[in-house]
Amino acid sequence: MPRRSHSVPYSVRSFYAASDVEHGGKALIEVAGRGRSSFAAYAHGGLFRAVQQMRSGSATEVLRQIYASGLRGCGGSHLPLARKWQAAIPYAPRYLVVNGLEGEPDTFKDYFLLRDYPQVVLEGIAISCRVLGVHEVYLVINAAYRDCLAALEAVWQQHAGEFADIKLHLLTGPEVDLYVVGEETALLNYIEGKRGEPRLKPPFPHQCGLWGQPTIVNNVETLSWIPILLTDATRFAGQHPKLVTLLGEVAAPGIYEVTLGQPLHDILQQAQPEELSFVEIGGISGGLVPAARLDVAYADEALRPLGVQVGAGTLRVFGHGCDPVAEVVRALQFFQAESCGRCTPCRVGTQELARFAQALQDGDVSAEDQHWAHRVAAAMQHSSTCGLGRAAPVPLLSYLHHFAEPQDD
């Protein structure tokens, strides 16, 4: 039974009362946008240009431009957006769900967009609706991002003419068990008022999504690039821009706009690292890479041999006083707590690996233990239902690959 929503022009709902919250919510930090910003340049040139431009063209032409740009999903999937939409359009999508949960603890690029560029976010959503033929949108933002709600509502009301024929539901996410609800099918369950745990796929959301209807799920950053690419093709000419959250032991933490393929060292230097011993690449579900291995391009193809990926675009710098194994313990305890527990490889595997990581920190593991940990990690990566179970072993595996001494039998 779906939860009742208010009708036009938007609704704001929160499913958890503050008194229910004891732990697990996202700790909000102050994030500043730094350096070059295509979003600032777009806003400076006049907002809603892309929506107005679209009125004089066709949805097919906009889809062609998105295809030509090579825009990929920025929430971590990196799937080409146009291909995802082309697969969905024959199913006549009924809903667009925009994922602004951003459950990774150290990731704030969607927050930056929602807070500083709500017009661009909503403009990207409006264009997406017209290309997809969708008239109903659910924008779900992290509960810690409540300070963005008023601006989003104000833009929607002030520019109602730009959003004609679109009904927006503006929701805040749960205060706890946040990470797994960010998985696209868990998010659909959450919106329907059910327990926020992933569904089995197939069927995929574009076939059977929200309330059984064909649904497209996209990330906030992904859709926010659409007004930019429609009005400044040069930003996507043979390259792919990306927002990264760069934090840790740096003098200038914040949100940086980079180009995928740029030298990773150059990106890190912009934030002025105070010391650089190792970097967590891809957020808490990413991996740890020592400073000596950072002479590499910031792109999935170049990072994959190091056992890491761009993911949602988080880079956390650690100095010489930090112990990488402590970060592995932190990550595995996080995944143990966040696992929804529905499938055995993830439920048991996160417990086992958290226990192993703690033993590693205590200096109490044998070669046999290490062999067992590798087997558990492989089982999780091959048979977990959703991305949480598949990503949870990555911090440990990267540590064992780059930092740990091989154990004697």
Applying CB under 6 A, which residues contact ligand SF4? Answer: 180, 197-198, 339-343, 346-347, 384-386, 388-389
Non-local (6+) Cβ contacts of 255 within 8 A are: 31, 32, 33, 34, 108, 109, 112, 243, 244, 245, 246
Of 128 and 285, nearer to ligand SF4 (C-beta) is: 285
Euclidean distance between CA atoms 39 and 246, whole angstroms: 18
CA nearest to 51, candidates 130, 117, 168: 130
Least distance in angstroms from the C-beta of 377 to ligand SF4: 13
Closest separation between CB of residue 381 and ligand SF4, Å? Answer: 10
The residue among 346, 352, 334 whose CA lies nearest residue 381 is 346
Rounded least distance, CB 386 to ligand SF4, Å: 3
Beta-carbon count within 10 A of 48 CB: 16
| Residues β-bridged to residue 245 | 255, 314
Give 308: exposed, middle or buried? Use CB within 10 Å, 0-12, 13-18, 19+: buried
CB of 92 to ligand SF4, least distance (A): 29
Task: Give the span between the Cα atoms of 208 and 218, in whole angstroms.
Answer: 15
Q: Which two tokens stand for residue 81?
A: 């957006």
For ligand SF4, the closer CB: 294 or 388: 388
Nearest residue (CB) to ligand SF4, 330 versus 342: 342
Give the integer Cα–Cα distance in Å for 113 and 138.
Answer: 17
Query: Please, what is the minimum distance in Å from the beta carbon of residue 350 to ligand SF4?
Result: 7
Shorter beta-carbon distance to ligand SF4: residue 29 or 348:
348
Closest CB 174 distance from ligand SF4, rounded Å: 14
Beta bridge partners of residue 242, listed in sequence order:
258
Compare residues 151 and 337 and give the one whose CB is closer to ligand SF4: 337
Residue where the block lists tokens 């690959």: 401
- By three-state DSSP, how is residue 96 classified? strand
What's the CA gap between 190 and 352, in Å, rounded?
28
Nearer to ligand SF4, 34 or 342 (CB): 342
CA–CA distance, 79 with 23 (Å, rounded to integer): 33
Q: Residue 241, preceding bond cis, omega within 30 degrees?
A: no
Contact 254, 94 (CB under 8 A): no
Take residue 10 and report the two structure tokens written for it. 């938007």
Nearer to ligand SF4 by Cβ, of 103 and 227: the residue is 103
Name the minimum Å distance from CB 192 to ligand SF4: 17
CB of 23 to ligand SF4, least distance (A): 18
Cβ of residue 186: shortest distance to ligand SF4, in angstroms? 8
| Angle at which helices 394-402 and 324-338 cross, to 10° | 160
Spatial separation of the C-alpha atoms in residues 185 and 209, rounded to whole Å: 8
**Shortest gap between Cβ of 217 and ligand SF4 (angstroms)?**
16
Is residue 386 a contact partner of residue 180, using CB atoms and an 8 Å limit?
A: yes
